[in-house]
Amino acid sequence: MAQTQQNNSGFALPAPVEGGNAQAPAAGAPAMVNTSTEVSQPASLNELGATADTGSRDLLIGGGILLLLFIGFFFARNAYANTLVGKRVPPNKANASAWWLFVFLSSLATGVVLSAVNAAKFLTPLIMGPVALVGLVALVLMLVSGRK
């Protein structure tokens, strides 16, 4: 009874190497594979690069997007003020309410753009808390000042 040896030509991982002096296995030697399920986790977010400095290019792109949004919000402010005047709200109250709409939309856009630029750095309570508070106050003042 002759045994046939099957040649497994599948993919084999090289043995993990401790240190910097790795030696290649011999041509015919099977590779040793570490099958442990142990996963090394980084000690902090700094090892992942999550708190890396935001590049000036990212900040410039975010600033450009914010500028374009502010221009669009200015036109929305004018349309909202004209709509309120059409609903018989006094022009000075309509104008004040429209400016509060502008502040609300601007704070909302600022929070979104900052989180898109670098979420690990800007999505902290110290930064997003005041931005959200300004937006919430502006929303309430917009609704209150837009009454007849």
Between 125 and 54, the more confident residue is 125
Position 43 in a domain: no
Position 54 in a domain: no
Residue 39's pLDDT is what? 53
Position 58 in a domain: no
The total of structural domains in the chain comes to 1
Position 59 in a domain: no
Position 137 in a domain: yes
Nearest to 114 by CA among 56, 62, 73, 49: 62
Between 48 and 95, the more confident residue is 95
**Average pLDDT score over the chain:** 82
- A 10 A CB-CB count for 107 gives 20
Q: Residue 130 belongs to what domain range? A: 74-145
Position 18 in a domain: no
Position 83 in a domain: yes
